[in-house]
Amino acid sequence: MAKGQFKEPVRIQLGRIDRDRLVLGVKDAAAILLREWPAEETPRRTKAMAACLGVIRGTKPPSYARRYFVAACKEANVLLEL
């Protein structure tokens, strides 16, 4: 498994109904949180960004970032399934 890759992808929908995405790892999740996030700044989004940074720095496992990313996705109503 590549460094920063999630064991299970996260399926989200940021915009149009026919355009869902599979988030495969930390780099994808971080880019979405920084550039494409549909919601305002929230504590869950901030925690998800910090978790992604921890993985990128090598201090946390990818599962840690995935857990916080999923929580932020649920809050923003963009999570499709687990």
Q: What is the pTM of this model?
A: 0.91
Reduce the DSSP state of residue 6 to 3 states and report it. strand
| Tens of pLDDT, residues 21-79 | 999 999 999 999 999 998 888 999 999 999 999 999 999 999 999 999 999 999 999 99
